[in-house]
Amino acid sequence: MGLEIGRGNSKQIVPPDQVEELASIGCTDREIAAFFKVKEDTLRRNFADNLLKGREFCKTRLRQAMFKNACSHMNAAVQIFLAKNILGMSDQQHNTEANAPLPWVESEDIEENENENIQEN
């Protein structure tokens, strides 16, 4: 059951659900066209919706697997990747008061402070 694609004696029956399934596991248009022995542009023209739906399903499954790895399996590398790409977090530090450099203190000032602390105790 499927669409009859091609002309003359080279007609092929291409099931839309199989096109969608192959797209859902990451097959390229070229690979799917070769599998069914049809031209890529013919495949795209007749099965654009199936190709799109399959590829979107592939992305959904991949996201599910990534979240499972990050949250259930506590995979730090995947957690970092998702934090950067979904939450917009970054390794770059911004120059704010919290991470501004500490003020410079001369060694004489340190000695005076130490001496004052000793005298107070």
pTM: 0.67
Q: For 35, list phi and psi in degrees, rounded to 5.
A: -60, -45
Q: What is the pLDDT of residues 22-65, one digit of tens each?
A: 999 999 999 999 999 999 999 999 999 999 999 999 999 999 99
Residue 88 falls inside a structural domain: yes
Residue 117 falls inside a structural domain: no
Domain total in the chain: 1
- Hey, CA dihedral for 11, 42, 29, 24, is it positive or negative? negative
CA pair distance 86, 62, nearest whole angstrom? 14
Q: For 111, list phi and psi in degrees, rounded to 5.
A: -60, -45
Least confident of 40-44, 53-57, 67-71, 90-94: 90-94
Residue 13 falls inside a structural domain: yes
Residue 116 falls inside a structural domain: no
